[in-house]
Amino acid sequence: MSGWVTVAGLGPGSDALVTPEVSAALAEATDIVGYIPYVARVAARPGLRLHASDNRVEVERARHALELAAAGARVVIVSSGDPGVFAMAAALFEALEAAPEHQQLDIRVLPGITAMLAAAARAGAPLGHDFCAINLSDNLKPWALIEARLRAAAQADFAMAFYNPRSRSRPEGFARVLELLREACGGERLITFARAVSTPEEQLVTVTLAEATPEMADMRTVVLVGNSATRRVGRWVYTPRSA
């Protein structure tokens, strides 16, 4: 019995952004656990068991992975992007906290290219200086906390990256975010909508906050907002290192 659990980041979509470390873990696995579209990215091979589950069952999925490993399986939990950024790593440790009998298991977290950094690279360097990353979904936290963080970020002049900008359960939330940002940062601030970066469906657009509308984002979009010094140079957007 030498089971293990590895949480691996598959990056934003393209295989060219999957690290060799992650590819090696996938090649050694007996079991792949994850959200349906991420499991679908792993090539099938004889003897590899695929356990695809729906969204919003992250802790149950992590518990399942721990149980498989405890029984001797070599399990990779696949995550999009980086597992530590609004993805499966935190859910795994929540499951581990509730199941101390598994704490001696061989557990590893393998980093990946997270969506905001893939998007920033495509746009230029909009996160080129101090920045923050905020999950705009209020599935697991109160909306007031999201607004408080947005205000603090604007006041401190951080560049910002938003994950999950438009949730199905609260479609009006992102309109409120844009409104708050326009008040706090002014209408000229640059905002980039990056959808499905590194996939065939990739779309990237940069506008001002005055021009931005909620419909520019969907669940596959990561949103980047510049700080007060962020500007265009040619077809690029960047934040100077001195800002």
Give, as ranges, the residues between 42 and 81 that touch a second copy (CB under 8 A).
58
> Which range binds a second copy by CB under 8 A, 12-20, 62-70, 201-209, 212-220?
12-20
Residue whose tokens read 């992102």: 174
14 belongs to the binding site for a second copy (CB under 8 A): yes
Position among 42, 134, 177, 185 found at the interface with a second copy (CB under 8 A): 134
202 belongs to the binding site for a second copy (CB under 8 A): no
| Least CB distance to a second copy at residue 178 (A) | 18
176 belongs to the binding site for a second copy (CB under 8 A): no
**Binding-site size, a second copy (CB under 8 A):** 73
> Which range binds a second copy by CB under 8 A, 9-17, 41-49, 168-176, 181-189?
9-17
Position among 4, 35, 38, 86 found at the interface with a second copy (CB under 8 A): 86
**Which backbone phi and psi does 143 adopt, to 5 degrees?**
-60, -35
92 belongs to the binding site for a second copy (CB under 8 A): yes
155 belongs to the binding site for a second copy (CB under 8 A): yes
> Which range binds a second copy by CB under 8 A, 34-42, 70-78, 129-137, 169-177?
129-137
Cα 85 off chain centre by: 5
| Least CB distance to a second copy at residue 134 (A) | 5
Position among 62, 77, 78, 133 found at the interface with a second copy (CB under 8 A): 133
165 belongs to the binding site for a second copy (CB under 8 A): no
